[in-house]
Structure 1
Amino acid sequence: MRWPDELVETPDLQGAYPRLSEAQIQALSACGERRSARREDVLFAEGDPCVAFLVVLAGKVAEVKGYGFDDQVIGIHGAGRFLGDLNVLTGQASFITAVVAEDGEALAVPAEELRRLVTEDETLGDLVLRAYLIRRSMLIGLGAGFRIIGSRYSPDCRRLREFAARNRLPHRWIDLEEDTDVESLLQRMGLTPQETPFVIWRGEKVLRNPTNAELAKLIGLPAPAPRESGWDLLVVGAGPAGLAAAVYGASEGLTTIVLDSVATGGQAGTSSRIENYLGFPAGLSGGELAERAEIQARKFGAQFSIPAEACTLQEQEGHHVVTVKEGAVIQTRALLIATGVRYRKLDVPDLERFEATSVYYAATAFEAQMCSRDPVVVVGGGNSAGQAALFLAQHVASVRLLVRDDALTRNMSRYLAVEIEQHPGIQVMLNTQVRRLVGEQTLEAVVAEDNVTGERFTLEARAMFVFIGAEPYSRWLADEVALDSRGYILTGLDAARSGRKGVPDSAGRPFPLETSRAGVFAAGDVRNGSIKRVASAVGEGAMAVRLVHEHLQLRG
């Protein structure tokens, strides 16, 4: 490859490239292996599984994006610095290549040893985790990793982009509608636009319109792992409740596996900013909260499988058996259902036609990029709608917030309502509902109605964000546990009153978060009577693990 004229070490930006102390290097050396490093040696390559934590002991190492194709050096690191990003902790494949730029020596520590060390050494753990979180954000911004090639009008292209964005996977999107050079690239690879979307990695691995599971396999996200003896705890749903259960379950010695059909974080993961979560006065994004919680759970030994959609629940010989859409069958002694809720859809004509290109149910960086500099409407009067409006106002041409009630504070926190009313980029339209969508391939406008006067008017909009309440994600349970009339899972006394048999008749059963089936618990938004807040979901996830222990002890 072509090297820069001067091998100047990249500055440590915001803690992304810290230097380890001599004591930390010595501790790592006890469980690692020293390796000589010659110029042009590849220490790890893009697409390879991350099996080791690498520390530069002498010489210099370059981190390269697109090695062997367009060779872009994104960082040069000298003695005392460590390489890689979050994939060392999560088991994903590498999104960049590390090439020796100057002869020296490196220390290779097995990834599993690093996970153990960061659990035991709080200082080292904090240093590595902070650096890796920042580096992942930097790689996403640089467009490292795989490429998604497709049309902005393609539902499958949007599906793949959403999956990559929600899982914070570094990638680059190439739009067939705008990139004039992409057709020659496809011709060189023997591909045609009609076969899009494609996922291309390292210029050699090509997937034609892959499923989310196929993309996950490409970058090393693990499928559900069978265990001969089954699992102690299976958590279905990786929102705040499920993530809390994973942390507490794994840290307290339960063999724990977590499934989710899309990504960690649940609905909270799609929030651009959570400002009222205890301990974070400046707020934090839902994606950041989910990423930190997943790493914390993995640190204690919890396993994650994404995407993995639970389809059925059965009972066999005292075990709970969950069938996964992707093909796995998982046996567990205790089950926590934390599948949350799904946003309701507007009852307007042609909604499905526009959902593929212009209708969204989340407001993250991905959605903001999709409608950058366009006028948008946000429909809803709760906190999710308010947070979405504030976030989008930073990225789009204009935001109209359509609320069917006569006051913002009817269903929205007062602090959020005040912030919205004072924002110059948001127009609040009360007593307003959407009646019709207008456009050809994509949305061009919405026809809205004043529900007091009956007057109808047209609002220019290239995208519509919908936050109008939610319904529980519980249909996959069929009639295996008791539900209320709206589909929320009954727990505790409510489950006992349902008349369903299955929980042993003993004092205190069903437990407070236990369903009508012994050993099956529910937490978070999917549970009847839950408080729809991130903090309460986290509390329920932790509480559920305590009750799982009690259940397993009673079983002997």
Structure 2
Amino acid sequence: MATFEGLAGMQTLSVPSGAYVKMSPDQLARAARYGIQRNHCTITRLYRQGERAVDFYIVLEGTVQAFWSDAIDGEEHFFSLEPGEFGGELNLLNQRETLVAARALEGSSVLRIPRERFREFLIAEPDIGELVVRTIGQRRQWLVQIGAGGLVLIADGNSSDAEKLARFLEANSYPFRSLDTKRSSEAQAIAQERGLQDADLPAVISGKWMLKRPELRALASKLGILEDVREGITWDVLVVGAGPAGLATAVYAASEGLRTLVLDNYAAGGQAGTSSRIENYLGFSNGISGAELAKQAQVQAEKFGATVAICRTATSIDCSEEPFLVSLDDDSTVAARSVVIATGARYRKLNVASLERFEGAGVHYSVTPIDVHPCLGLPVVMVGGGNSAGQAAMFLSAKGSHVHMLIRGPHLSSTMSDYLVQRIHASKSITLHTCSEVVSLEGANHLSHVTWKSVVTGEKTRFEAEHLFVMIGADPCTTWLRDCVDLDANGFVRTSFGSEVRGLFETSVRGIFAVGDVRSGSVKRVASAVGEGSVVVAAIHRHLGTLGA
């Protein structure tokens, strides 16, 4: 079994069994048909940290070490792979940079499968493909847990900017360590050594560079997680939005041989990616977090050859002729023979003074680990009566927080699934306040008090709380469509239900489709979004068939 060395107190820690598994002799023999065996008489670097499009390596004899250097002290950390084990992680499925480097030790024998044959290998050998994809997914999770790669986020107290960066890194499964100059002498020493002033924070430090108060796109570029959208290529399918509907479209389109590109302005998952636990999704009897579901869907899409590009925002579309041209916020354009609108909706905000001042400083729109950790055991206020709010309330209450849940109506049953309604009413850690709305927020640098009012009696309640979760629905992200396709009165995209003239979920423009929450009349559920994303591919095939080669 692979072993890990390098971090203080972790020198003898074994790598989790699911993150590094061995291929059987039969699997190794079949893998040999796709690669080249190399014997190394001396220590040989196989690839560097930060490289793109690296090859796939399987250890046949001896030892291969995967390693990285700490961004602060330069100390090297590594884990060793034994015969039968293989290197790499999620970068094998895309064009992103590697988190770690690798070297073969003296006397080692390694099978190298070139990148151009790797996907062929996964598809032609399905049992090995399943093993590899499952393993590299679990490996990335473990690398995130231990902060592999050496990235450090230096924050300055309760900074909304630092929280934004941390959320972005977490949403994109990028490992990092977070240090706070207000709480850590180590962080203070690092800031002083690097010449960082309070105005420079938050800062992100790697072994090769440092960014002060970076924008998300600049950070993504430095981390090597921006995908090349390859201008000049005409894609078969362009999916705008990487929520459940968009990812489902990508999985089915790519698996059927269509050249597929997915764009998202932030990370895979959409609103569903922020759900703490989805318990009524078919096949997951114990539930699954929205983030985990999104990560698995992204891996699945990339396994079939789809390209998922983050920090790419569609700003307009020219639908006057085919191929369609979609303009992005970096002034580049993408051409596609068909377009699937899966941009979902953005969170609605409370109409309360000072709300924006507390965003990232006590006001939350999701229930991710970054949101939950600072409020463990503390009372919180939740606004919203839908399933997302119910799931979040149950999750927070299970973590030791007492949840004060505010809804505008007299009861939950009209807006929430019954299983959640029953649990909320039965919970001693959730207090439901019906016919109530937030009227004011207070605090210095961080939220300290929330005041709500009964819309029936007018009575106000001023409550001491450092955390407010707002889950009151969303508005469609369709401004970029302008006059291209027909929208309903609320801005959602009108679509066909299928006919001889129009395909299922096709908009008023032939070849442009809409699925998921952005579609007018859609059921706002993850399962429904996934269903729409999967079945729309048949209509896409029908459209592409009318265009010819």
TM over 0.5: yes
* 1:384-463 map, 5 Å: 384-395=388-399, 397-463=401-467
CA distance in 2, matches of 1:177, 1:115: 47
Match of 2:223 in 1: 219
Question: 2:191 is matched with which residue: 180, 186, 189?
Answer: 186
State whether structure 2 residue 20 is matched by structure 1 residue 28. Answer: no
- Residue 223 of structure 1 and its aligned partner are, at CA, apart by 3.7
Cα offset for 1:508?
Answer: 2.4
Aligned residues of 1:235 and 1:245 also touching (Cα < 8 A): yes
Q: Deviation of residue 28 (structure 1)?
A: 2.2
Pick which of 378-387 and 298-307 moved more: 298-307
Superposed CA deviations along residues 44-102 of structure 1, whole A, max 9, x for unmatched, are: 44333350222222223444453584546463331111123222223332223445567
In the aligned structure 2, how far is the partner of 1:88 from the partner of 1:510? 39
CA distance in 1, matches of 2:11, 2:43: 17
Corresponding residue for residue 359 of structure 1: 363
Give the drift of 1:445.
1.3
2:319 aligned with 1:319: no
Q: CA deviation at 1:426?
A: 2.6
Unmatched runs of 5 consecutive residues or more in structure 1: 495-506
Q: Indicate the residue corresponding to 1:553 in structure 2.
A: 545
CA distance in 2, matches of 1:281, 1:39: 51
The separation in 2 between residues aligned to 1:53 and 1:370, in whole angstroms, is: 40
Contact 1:224 1:304 (C-alpha < 8 Å) held by counterparts: no
User: Which residue does the alignment assign to 1:142?
Assistant: 146
Alignment-derived partner of residue 337 in structure 1: 341
**Larger displacement relative to structure 2 (39-48 or 55-64):** 39-48
> What CA deviation, in whole Å up to 9, does each residue of 1:187-220 have, x standing for no partner?
3334333222222112x21122222222222222
- 1:477 corresponds in structure 2 to 481
**Pairing 1:77–2:81 present:** yes
Note closer, same or farther for the CA distance 1:107–1:365 as it changes in structure 2 (3 Å cut). same
User: Following TM superposition, by how much is the alpha carbon of 1:486 offset from its aligned partner in structure 2, in angstroms?
Assistant: 0.5
What CA distance in whole angstroms lies between the structure 1 residues aligned with 2:246 and 2:514? 10
Aligned 8 A contact 1:150 1:175 in 2: yes
Distance 1:211 1:38 in 2: 46
Quick check: 2:94–2:302 contact (8 Å CA) kept in 1?
yes
Is contact 1:339–1:526 with CA below 8 Å preserved after alignment?
yes
Instruction: Describe the shift of the 1:332–1:422 C-alpha distance in structure 2 as closer, same or farther (beyond 3 A).
Output: same
- CA offset at residue 306 of structure 1? 0.4
Taking only the aligned residue pairs, the percentage that are identical comes to 40
Distance 1:207 1:3 in 2: 26
Cα displacement (A) at 1:294 = 1.4
Point out the more displaced range, 114-123 or 44-53.
44-53
State the partner residue of 2:259. 255
Amino acid aligned to 1:107: L
Q: Give, in angstroms, the shift of residue 362 of structure 1.
A: 1.0
Aligned partners of 1:108 and 1:396: how far apart in 2?
49
Q: 1:95 corresponds to which letter in structure 2?
A: L
Whichever residue aligns with residue 538 of structure 2, its letter is: R
Structure-to-structure mapping, 1:95-244, within 5 angstroms = 95-99=99-103, 103-145=107-149, 146-202=151-207, 204-244=208-248
Aligned-pair CA distance for 1:440: 0.8
Match of 1:492, SS state, is: coil
* Deviation for aligned residue 1:18: 1.2
Q: Structure 1 pair 418/103, CA: closer, same or farther in 2 (3 Å)?
A: farther
More displaced 10-residue stretch of structure 1: 226-235 or 475-484: 226-235
- What are the superposed Cα offsets for residues 167-187 of structure 1, whole Å, 9 maximum, x if unpaired? 111111222221222233233
Return the alpha-carbon distance in structure 1 between the equivalents of residues 254 and 409 of structure 2.
45
Partner of 1:466: 470
The 1:55–1:10 alpha-carbon spacing in structure 2 relative to 1, beyond 3 Å, is farther
Report the Cα offset of residue 372 of structure 1. Answer: 3.9
**1:516 paired to 2:484:** no
Distance 1:75 1:546 in 2: 45
1:54–1:109 contact (8 Å) kept in structure 2:
yes
The residue aligned with 2:55 is 52
**Partner SS state of residue 374, structure 1:** coil
TM-score, normalising length: structure 1:
0.90
- TM-score, L = length of structure 2: 0.91
How many angstroms does 1:265 deviate by?
1.2
Match of 2:373 in 1: 369
Deviations 1:426-455 (A, max 9, x none): 333223221111111110110112233221
* Aligned length in residues: 541
The one-character-per-residue Cα deviations of 1:27-50 (angstroms, maximum 9, x if unpaired) are 222222333456765444433335
- Distance in 1 between the 2:57 and 2:13 partners? 17
Deviations 1:221-243 (A, max 9, x none): 23452353511111100111111
Q: What does residue 538 of structure 1 align with?
A: 530
Cα distance in 1, alignment partners of residues 171 and 496 from structure 2: 34
1:359/1:424 Cα in 2 relative to 1: closer, same or farther (>3 Å)? same
Q: Structure 1 residues 554, 96: closer, same or farther in 2, change over 3 A?
A: closer
Contact 2:157 2:183 in 1 (8 A): no
Contact 2:91 2:98 in 1 (8 A): yes
Aligned-residue offset at 1:475: 1.2
- Matching residue of 1:497: none
Report if aligned partners of 2:40, 2:105 keep a CA contact under 8 Å in 1. Answer: no
Measure how far apart 1:404 and its partner are. Answer: 2.2
One-letter amino acid of the structure 1 residue matched with residue 458 of structure 2: G
Give the whole-Å Cα distance in 2 for the aligned partners of 1:298 and 1:407.
Answer: 43
User: 2:383 is matched with which residue?
Assistant: 379
Distance 2:317 2:68 in 1: 44
CA distance in 2, matches of 1:441, 1:3: 38
Secondary structure (helix, strand or coil) at the match of 1:410 reads coil
Tell me which amino acid in the other structure corresponds to 2:164: R
Spell out, residue by residue over 1:450-480, the C-alpha distance to the aligned partner (whole angstroms, 9 max, x if none).
2332211122211111111211111111122
Using the TM superposition, give the Cα deviation of residue 12 of structure 1 relative to its aligned residue in structure 2, in angstroms.
Answer: 6.3
Contact 2:231 2:333 in 1 (8 A): no
Task: Check conservation: 2:251, 2:297, Cα contact below 8 A.
Answer: yes
Q: Which moved more, 1:546-555 or 1:232-241?
A: 546-555
The separation in 2 between residues aligned to 1:400 and 1:139, in whole angstroms, is 36
Q: Which runs of no fewer than 5 residues in structure 2 stay unpaired?
A: none
Q: Partner amino acid for 2:57?
A: L
